[in-house]
Amino acid sequence: MTTTILVVDDKASVSKVVRDYLTEEGFRAVTAENGREALYVARHEKPDLILLDIMMPEMGGYEFLRTYRKERNTPIILLTARLEEADKVLGLELGADDYVTKPFGIRELVARIRAVLRRAAPEASQPAVLRGGDLLLDLTAHTVHLGDQPMRLTPSEFELLATLMAAPGRAFTRLELLEKLQGVAIEGAEHTVNTHIHNLRAKIEPEPSRPRYIEAVFGVGYRFRAE
C-alpha cells in the first residue's frame, strides 16, 4: 500500500517541490494551504504522515496540532522558518514528532520522513510485550496500557518508552535516545529528548513531578526504574 503524506504549507511553490519529490520517491502526496484546509484533508485522506508548516493564515500549525492531536496520533514533522528554541519546544510539546528548519534539503527531509515512519510502524517480528509496574507495552500491536487504561502516545513517545522499558535499570544518554528517535544524534539537540520525556511522564506517571517509571540520571540522561 502506498504511503500517503499530507504537505501543509501556504506557499504553493514549496508544496509543489516537496510533493513532486515525494512522488518520485514512491509516496502519494496530497497538499493543503492552511491548517483549516489541512484538518479537512487529514480527516478524509487519513495520511500516514503530515509535513506541517507553522506560520500559515486562517489556522497556523500550532492550532492545527492542538486540534488534530485530540483525534489521531498520525506522525507529524514541523517545517519551520523560526529558529528560536522555544518555538521548536512548543511544537514538540504539542505532539510533533520532529522538525525541519527552512530552508531544508529535500533529501534530508525524505530521510527524516522515512525515520519517523519506521518508528511509527508496528514491528513485523514475533509478538513482544514489555511490562513494568502497571505499564504494559505491546511492540506488535503498538499499544501501551497503564493498568486497564489505554495510553495515547505519539510515535516518538512510544519509541522512547519502548527503548527504556526494554533495558530497565540501564541509563541512556540523551544522545543515545535522540539517535533512536531521529536516526542521527546531533549535539545540542538533547532538549528534544527532554521535551518528549516531559510529555511522556505527563501521560504515564501517577505524579509526574515525582516520577515512578522514568528516572533522570544526573549528568547522563534517563532510565526506566527496575522493579
**Mean pLDDT for all residues in the chain:** 86
The pLDDT value given to residue 105: 85
CA–CA separation, 100 and 102 (whole Å): 7
CA–CA separation, 104 and 185 (whole Å): 18
Q: What is the pLDDT of residues 197-217, one digit of tens each?
A: 999 999 999 898 899 999 998
Q: State the distance between the two ends of the chain, measured CA to CA, in whole angstroms.
A: 42
Cβ neighbours for 65, distance < 8 A, ≥ 6 positions apart? 52, 76, 91, 94, 95, 96
CATH number of 129-224: 1.10.10.10
Provide the pLDDT confidence category of residue 189 given band limits of 50, 70 and 90.
low
Provide the pLDDT confidence category of residue 188 given band limits of 50, 70 and 90.
low
The pLDDT value given to residue 139: 87
Evaluate whether 4-120 and 129-224 have a shared fold.
no
Q: What is the pLDDT of residues 91-143, one digit of tens each?
A: 888 888 888 888 888 888 888 898 888 877 765 444 488 999 899 999 888 89
Q: What is the pLDDT of residues 14-55, one digit of tens each?
A: 899 999 999 988 899 999 999 999 999 999 999 999 999 988
SS3 of residue 16 by DSSP: helix
Q: What is the pLDDT of residues 55-103, one digit of tens each?
A: 888 888 899 999 998 888 899 999 887 666 677 778 888 888 888 888 8
Strands 49-53 and 149-151: unpaired
CA dihedral for 202, 79, 160, 74, sign (positive or negative) = positive
To which CATH superfamily is domain 4-120 assigned? Response regulator (3.40.50.2300)
Helix H or strand E encompassing 100: strand 98-101
Q: What is the pLDDT of residues 173-187, one digit of tens each?
A: 888 888 777 664 455
Helix H or strand E encompassing 124: none
pTM: 0.61
- Domain extent listing, the chain: 4-120, 129-224
